Amino acid sequence: MKAVQITEPGKVSLVQLEKPGISADEVLVKIHYVGYCGSDLNTFLGKNPMVKLPVIPGHEIGASIEAVGENVPEHLQPGMACTINPYTACGKCPSCRNLTLVSSTKPLGCNVTVL
């Protein structure tokens, strides 16, 4: 699959990556649209301290479900349109405990790889 990747500050490359597999509890999505925001611009400029390069930017995603693992709820089916919540939750930090995930330390496209 093709992906846009920020490889170093100020440098973007189109890269060919292996299509990811999924586990029994995961869903594979095909990305159709990506919105780039200020954090993506700061990543490109080398001003985002949360990012570990190289990274595939973009965490505002319009997609469709391509495949589902065997343990995924039945209402999630291939072909369905979807979007992605870009924040992960550890359940332990103050942001997670207070349900303010906007300040989570692991947003997609920053230090969690989106493939």
What CATH code is carried by the domain that includes residue 27? 3.90.180.10
Report yes or no on 10 lying in a domain: yes
Domain of 64, in residue numbers: 2-86
| Residue 44 maps to a domain | yes
> Along the 115 residues of the chain, how does pLDDT read in single tens digits?
899 999 999 999 999 999 999 999 999 999 999 999 898 999 999 998 888 899 999 888 999 999 999 999 999 999 999 998 777 667 777 767 776 655 445 555 544 444 4
pLDDT score for 104? 47
pLDDT for the residue 100: 62
Instruction: Answer yes or no: is 23 within a domain.
Output: yes
pTM: 0.74
3-state SS, residue 93: coil
pLDDT of residue 3: 92
Q: What is the 3-state secondary structure (H, E, C) of 36-92?
A: CCHHHHHHHHCCCCCCCCCECCCCEEEEEEEEECCCCCCCCCCCCEEECCCECCCCC
CB half-sphere exposure, 43, CA atoms < 13 A: 24
